[in-house]
Amino acid sequence: MTHVSIQSLTKVYPGATEPSLDRLSLEIESGELTALLGPSGCGKTTTMKMIAGLLEPTSGDVTFDGRSVLNDKPEHRGVVMVFQNYLLFPYMSVADNVGFGLKMRKVDKAEIDRRVTAILEQVKLPDLGKRKPSELSGGQQQRVALARALIVQPDVLLLDEPLSNLDAHLRFEMRDLIRSLQQEMGITTIFVTHDQEEAVVLADKVALILDGRMKQYDTPDAFYKRPIDESTARFFGGQNFIQGYAENGIFESSLGKLELPDHSANGKGTLTFRPENIRIATDYSQPNTVDATLTDRLYLGTQTRLKLTLGNHNIEAICNPIDVEGLTPGQNILVTIPADVVWLLTS
Amino acid sequence: MSDRLKIFLLLAPALLIIGLLFFGGLLIGLMRSFNYMPVIGLTDPDLSAYKSVFTDREFYLSFLLTFHIAFTSTVISSILAVGAALLLRRQFVGRAVVNFLFQLNLTVPHLVGAIGILYLFSQSGSFARLAAEWGMIARTSDFPALVFDPYAIGIILQYVWKEVPFIGVIVLANMQSIGEDYESVARSLGASRWQSFRHVLLPLIFPGMLSASVMVFAFTFGAYEIPAILGANFPAALPVLAYRKYTDVDLAARPEAMAMAIVIAILSGVMIYLYVRYSRRRIRT
Amino acid sequence: MSAKESIGIRSFRFLTGALLIIWLVLPLIPLAIWSFAHGWFFPNLLPAKWSMRAWEYTFSDTAGVIDSLWLTIGISLAATVLSILIGVPAGRALGMYKFRGKEFVELLILAPIIVPGIAVVLGIHSVFISMGLNNTVTGVILVHLIPTLPYMILVMSGIFANYDPAFESQARSLGASPVKTFWYVTLPAIMPGIIVGGLFAFLVSWSQYILTLLIGGGRVVTLPLLLFNFATSGRNDITGAIGMIYILPGIFILLLTARHLSGRSGAVGGFGQI
């Protein structure tokens, strides 16, 4: 169990003017599974390589249980990194790949064989030890890469986009496997991804990094319910933003007065709400019901996306197809934005 | 037009030229080495040329020398080439210059390199002059024989000069397309710098390096002008010996020359086998 | 991967790099100095007297160096053009089609790259006698095809392997004749390959020694033959001058094609022959 602390970690590549990573600070509790989330090129993989000792930070520190590891060579850090494309050594058998780390530590042959067999069983790939990596499916290669990392019992495990190369049905299987192994072995685990769904599904906590800086570090559901700002909300699929003024639990904008869940914030702000939380109304009986014009609709099988105009705002709503049957573009309708689903962003 | 006909027509001129010139030349050489040439009335093949070649001490000395030249040059060049490639994939002051000279060197014919080595390492060459300047030798004959010498040091130096860039450029390209992530994985799994080179990078570049080395071996085994310039008179490298036999005033020596040419061809056949085996494997992985 | 690079490692790299640079240019230096030397006797580190004598001789009408230069250029150009004409179709067949016996055909074409010239040229010589091709420029050009053609085919098959013939179908369906399709669609697409392959085929022919010596029989005196003769007869100053001229096309071609020399392209394979 290792507590990982990242302090003002910064990386400026030689010749670059902008830092690839700008003063990232993060506390990761022992045994926790944390996601570094951000668009490609935001410095996630750079962060991982610096934690693993494969890249030297320009400034800042990385400590494990309070001790700086920056001067430890990568092979002595107790960190193993699993790359996105698995990078199984192509000329070695699966068993040799998995046993690689132990061989480097000069563990004796019989012991390596024993532990390789055990770990291959844990990742549910018994009997594949003699195959070559090229003979495995993507999902199997991913498990071998995971087994190869776990066999050396690292203090910290780093995973680069662990689910992104997998088909939808394999993702859930792999997610369960990673979670169960991680919990069982209690390894502090950090993974990076550009896919918010992957982060939410797998992580205990998510750190969102945009433009080389950390935006928000929170539990997955907080990013949907309580995004810190508009760019964070947008990253998680937020579409609906209305500028206005908040006072005493009431939000005034071009849409008129809307109720807020509480009285805590006052002043200028932006109101946001998830498309899936908007309801079609038949009358004004519910609070926060406003006029809208349906401009377009998109049938997606299990849901229907509606494009609406509320005053001068373009809003998106996601509804159950049955609820919106018969509505046609151009039609004027009523929508309710329940007070308990709105979230106020103040600058 | 069917695909088969199209393929045939596309390939026909090339196969005709290579078939007639290369394999024709090889076949005629083979026939003449057996003293079989119906056109000029030789209708009874025999092994007399091979008998005289294989009972000749000079041939064995020559074969051993040539093998030594090819093997030593190839091994030294391969090792240095890997070292140079390791160096060239890192950033350092002067890297662009080394890169340019590597490529420049590829375009310089072996003959020029051989003459350059001659002027550097002969007993009146630049290094001998330096040694004299520093008072290490008094006369030219005091300088160790590095060219025309029995160990073929000059020849090997020339090949190393030419082939380190050749193998190096191929190995470097190999390393660059492999990238550094495999080594990063190895380091992260607990391998030291040396271990990650030994167990990960080396096996990955080995097939590419081997196929380049095979070309170098075959070339150095069969090249004429380099040992002709830098080699000792006796024993001479096999291609030099074969040429001498072929141009001997005694026409009876020609079949022996052909027999030696066939020996060179057979050895390169073995090299082709290795090349094909390893270049295929390189494609598969 | 650049974690913790000490000053030691950096200066080690710089030093080995410097050593490499010196070693790579070293053999060319005495050649260059000799060409400007007016006698350069042991144990002088540099010539006592400098002169342009060797260069004047080299460029004089009586020396025959200029004639030899034009002859060599002509032979290499002819071998290159023939290699392109024959090699492009063959490269297309090998790069774009799968057929039975393809591996065997590839092996046949690969063989001359690895088997040294001396192994086949003796046999060719005895056939060329009866065909009257010995001691002729034609014979020399033909025999130069042995190293240049396989090499051209190799480069072109690499080009055609990455070439999409659907462009040709598209052109045909838009009304282009086969000839126009080749001229306006295929040729521009494969032109870079033809240029690079052709330049290197030129260099391969340019550097041939033993093939020219035997088939040319001393009558077809290309630059390398002249260079060899001067080198073995002890005229170091003239050797230096011819040597400098002899490496010029390579330098020129290098400057034109440096980015193709990455070793990733099949083109580099041909340098095993030079």
Contact C194, C83 (CB under 8 A): no
With contacts defined as CB-CB under 8 Å, which chain A residues touch B210? none
CA dihedral C125, C131, C135, C137 (to 10 degrees): -110
Q: Mean pLDDT score of chain C, rounded to an integer?
A: 89
* pLDDT tens readout for residues A157-178: 999 988 888 888 888 888 889 9
Judge whether B108 is closer than 8 Å to chain C, CB to CB. yes
Q: Write the DSSP string, C214-258.
A: HHHTTTS--HHHHHHHHHHTT-HHHHHHHHHHHHHHHHHHHHHHG
**Residue B205's closest chain A neighbor by CA?**
A91
* Cβ distance of C3 and A53 shorter than 8 Å: yes
Q: Say yes or no: B80 and B156 in one domain.
A: yes
With contacts defined as CB-CB under 8 Å, which chain C residues touch B3? 97, 99
**Residue B200's closest chain A neighbor by CA?**
A89
Minimal C-alpha gap between A55 and chain C (Å): 5
CA dist., res. A128 & res. A270, Å (int): 55
Q: Say yes or no: B72 and B191 in one domain.
A: yes
With contacts defined as CB-CB under 8 Å, which chain C residues touch A74? 3
**Residues with Cβ < 8 Å from C34, sequence gap 6 or more?**
B119, C40, C54, C236, C237, C239, C240
Judge whether C6 is closer than 8 Å to chain A, CB to CB. no
Minimal C-alpha gap between A123 and chain C (Å): 29
pLDDT over threshold 80, residue C260? no
The domains of chain C are located at 60-273
- Rounded to 10 deg, the angle between the C65-96 and C223-232 helix axes is 130
Domain around B36: 1-46
Indicate the pTM of the whole model.
Answer: 0.86
* pLDDT tens readout for residues C201-253: 999 999 999 999 999 998 999 999 999 999 999 899 999 999 999 999 999 98
Question: Which CATH number goes with the domain that contains B139?
Answer: 1.10.3720.10
> Topology of A4-225 in CATH?
Rossmann fold (3.40.50)
Q: pLDDT band for position B279 (50/70/90)?
A: low
Q: Mean pLDDT score of chain B, rounded to an integer?
A: 91
For residue A267, the model assigns a pLDDT of 87
pLDDT over threshold 80, residue A127? yes
* Cβ distance of C124 and B172 shorter than 8 Å: no
With contacts defined as CB-CB under 8 Å, which chain C residues touch A55? 1-3
* Cβ distance of C3 and A71 shorter than 8 Å: no
* pLDDT tens readout for residues C183-193: 999 999 999 88
Q: Which of B182, B188, B199 sits opposite A74 (nearest CB)?
A: B188
Q: Which of A75, A90, A134 sits opposite B190 (nearest CB)?
A: A75
Q: How is residue A323 written in tokens? A: 């609820």
Choosing among B185, B195, B282, which should be mutated to test the A contact, i.e. which has the most A CBs within 10 A?
B185
pLDDT over threshold 50, residue B264? yes
Q: Which of C112, C116, C254 sits opposite B104 (nearest CB)?
A: C254
* pLDDT tens readout for residues C13-60: 899 999 999 999 999 999 999 999 988 888 888 998 999 999 999 999
pLDDT exceeding 90 applies to what percent of chain C? 63
Judge whether C255 is closer than 8 Å to chain A, CB to CB. no
* pLDDT tens readout for residues A283-328: 888 888 999 999 999 999 899 999 999 888 899 999 998 888 888 8
Judge whether B178 is closer than 8 Å to chain A, CB to CB. no
ipTM for the complex shown: 0.91
Q: Say yes or no: B166 and B279 in one domain.
A: yes
Domains A4-225 and A238-345 share a fold: no
Residue B145's CB: how many other CB atoms inside 10 A? 15
Q: Say yes or no: B218 and B123 in one domain.
A: yes
Sheet containing A21-28: which strands, arranged edge to edge?
Answer: A21-28, A4-11, A59-64, A67-68
Q: List the Cα angle C21/C23/C25 in 5-degree steps.
A: 70
Judge whether B45 is closer than 8 Å to chain C, CB to CB. no
* pLDDT tens readout for residues B64-74: 999 999 999 99
* Cβ distance of C17 and B30 shorter than 8 Å: no
Judge whether B185 is closer than 8 Å to chain A, CB to CB. yes
**Residue B239's closest chain C neighbor by CA?**
C118
Touching chains, C (3+ CB pairs < 8 A): A, B
Looking at 3.30.420.270, 2.40.50.100, 1.10.8.50, 3.30.70.920, the CATH number of the domain A238-345 comes to 2.40.50.100
* pLDDT tens readout for residues B134-175: 989 988 889 999 999 999 999 999 999 999 999 999 999 999
CA dist., res. A157 & res. A33, Å (int): 9
Amino acid at B193: R
Q: Say yes or no: B37 and B73 in one domain.
A: no
Touching chains, A (3+ CB pairs < 8 A): B, C
pLDDT over threshold 70, residue B276? yes
pLDDT over threshold 90, residue A40? no
pLDDT exceeding 70 applies to what percent of chain C? 92
Count of domains forming chain B: 2
Minimal C-alpha gap between A54 and chain C (Å): 5
* pLDDT tens readout for residues B85-140: 999 998 888 888 998 899 899 999 999 999 999 999 999 999 999 999 898 998 88
Q: Which of C27, C97, C124 sits opposite B3 (nearest CB)?
A: C97
Q: How many CA atoms lie within 13 A of C62 on its CB side?
A: 3
Looking at 3.40.50.280, 1.10.3720.10, 3.40.50.450, 3.30.870.10, the CATH number of the domain C60-273 comes to 1.10.3720.10
* pLDDT tens readout for residues A55-95: 999 999 999 999 999 999 999 999 999 998 899 999 999 99
Phi, psi (5° rounding) for residue B32? -65, -30
Helix, strand, coil tally for chain A in percent (to 5): 30, 35, 40
**Residue A56's closest chain C neighbor by CA?**
C3
The domains of chain A are located at 4-225, 238-345
Q: Say yes or no: B110 and B193 in one domain.
A: yes
Secondary structure of residue B18 in the 3-state scheme: helix
For residue B278, the model assigns a pLDDT of 67
Secondary structure of residue A259 in the 3-state scheme: strand
pLDDT over threshold 70, residue C266? no
Q: pLDDT band for position B285 (50/70/90)?
A: very low
CA dist., res. B60 & res. B238, Å (int): 9
pLDDT over threshold 80, residue B274? no
